[in-house]
């Protein structure tokens, strides 16, 4: 079975500051990892995913995440945030051969001007 | 989202009444899922399906049943709604190709049980 822990329930930052949203997972098998974003009153959108290959994955809007197998982490980073990044971010894991996607509790990112 | 739709989008129902939520996909994916979203809990899996008439329980399945008689439709039923089932419900489908592996979510159904 897999589990996910998002270490911060809320992260407030100033506009144009860097941000890191932390995600740790637990699994006895190899994993696929995902970050989803949920803007206010909307559904979930895939931000980026790690399936295999390069451990650094990027999204089209400037976010990146690095798969660290030894630390069982998949932290999400952005060097400079914008007001429009205000949202809730969910880390999720699926084990190879598993049939389910398991979510963390979510991190609410608030951008202050 | 493209390829997956949920209905209704909003519903208010009374305690003790049955409620059915529908998820419809046009992607012909084998796997379909029902999650509920509650503050502080993220998304939790209720039930999932790995084919027509093939379903299994998730971590919060008590009080819910599902059915899948066609590849494209996955129904979630609350047999007798309770206030604890007030939540936002999301359906998801899973693509299994080497490049498109991933989960796509519907827009959600906001259910209020009064």
CB pairs under 8 A between A and B: 51
- Say what percent of chain A tops pLDDT 90: 78
Range A77-82 contact pairs with CB under 8 angstroms and sequence separation of 24 or more: A77/A18, A77/A19, A77/A20, A77/A21, A78/A18, A78/A19, A79/A18, A80/A16, A80/A17, A80/A18, A81/A13, A81/A15, A81/A16, A81/A17, A81/A18, A81/A19, A81/A109, A81/A111, A82/A15, A82/A16, A82/A111
Per-domain residue ranges of chain A: 3-112
CB atoms within 10 A of CB B67: 15
Residue B10 CA, chain-centre distance (Å), reads 14
Read off the pLDDT of each residue in A11-37 and give the average, rounded to a whole number.
95
Whether B33 has its CB under 8 Å from any CB of chain A: the answer is: yes
* pLDDT confidence band for A60 (50 / 70 / 90): confident
Of B33, B48, B102, which is closest to A46 when you measure between CB atoms?
Answer: B102
- CATH level 2 (architecture), domain A3-112: Sandwich (2.60)
**Residue for token pair 């699926």:** A94
pLDDT band, very low/low/confident/very high, at B98 (cuts 50, 70, 90): low
Q: Structural domain tally of chain B?
A: 1
Structure letter (DSSP) for residue A13: E
* Averaged pLDDT for residues B95-111: 84
| pLDDT for B43 | 95
Q: Which domain holds residue B51?
A: 4-113
Enter the DSSP assignment of B85: G
B82 touches chain A (CB under 8 A): no
List pLDDT tens digits, range B31-74: 999 999 998 889 999 999 999 999 999 999 999 999 999 999 99
Out of A32, A44, A100, closest to residue B101 by CB: A32
| pLDDT level of residue B106 (50, 70, 90 thresholds) | very high
- B90: distance to nearest CA of chain A, Å? 8
User: For chain A, what is the mean pLDDT?
Assistant: 94
* CA B57/CA B61 separation, integer angstroms: 6
Distance, in Å, from the CA atom of A47 to the CA atom of A50, rounded to the nearest integer, reads: 11
Which CATH number do you get for residue B51? 2.60.40.10
The dihedral over CA atoms of A40, A49, B49, B33, expressed in degrees to the nearest 10, equals -10
Taking the Cβ of residue A36 and every Cβ of chain B, the question of whether any pair is shorter than 8 Å is answered with yes
Chain B positions touching A100 (Cβ under 8 A) are 33, 45, 48, 58
pLDDT band at B2; cut points 50, 70, 90: low
What does the pLDDT read at residue B99? 63
| pLDDT over threshold 90, residue A79 | yes
- Enumerate the residues of chain B whose CB falls inside 8 A of the CB of residue A59: none
Q: Encode pLDDT of B66-93 as tens digits.
A: 999 999 999 999 999 999 999 999 999 9
């Amino acid at each position: 079975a897999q589990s996910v822990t998002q270490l911060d329930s809320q992260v407030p930052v100033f506009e144009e500051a860097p941000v890191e949203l932390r995600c740790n997972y637990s699994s006895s098998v190899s994993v696929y990892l995902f970050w989803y974003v949920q803007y206010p009153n909307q559904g979930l959108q895939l931000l980026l995913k790690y399936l295999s290959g390069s451990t650094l994955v990027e999204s089209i809007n400037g976010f990146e995440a690095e798969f660290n197998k030894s630390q069982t982490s998949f932290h999400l980073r952005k060097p400079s945030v914008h007001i429009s990044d205000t949202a809730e971010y969910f880390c999720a894991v699926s084990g190879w051969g598993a049939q389910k996607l398991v979510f963390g509790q979510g991190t609410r990112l608030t951008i202050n001007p | 989202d493209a390829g997956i739709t949920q209905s209704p989008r909003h519903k208010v129902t009374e305690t003790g009444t049955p409620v059915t939520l529908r998820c419809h996909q046009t992607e012909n994916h084998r796997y379909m899922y029902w999650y509920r979203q509650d503050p502080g809990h993220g998304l939790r899996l209720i039930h999932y399906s790995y084919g027509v008439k093939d379903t299994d329980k998730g971590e919060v399945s008590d009080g819910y049943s599902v059915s899948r008689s066609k590849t494209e439709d996955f129904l979630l039923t609350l047999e007798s709604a309770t206030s604890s089932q007030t939540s936002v419900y999301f359906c998801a489908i899973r693509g299994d190709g080497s490049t498109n592996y991933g989960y796509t979510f519907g827009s959600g159904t906001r259910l209020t049980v009064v």
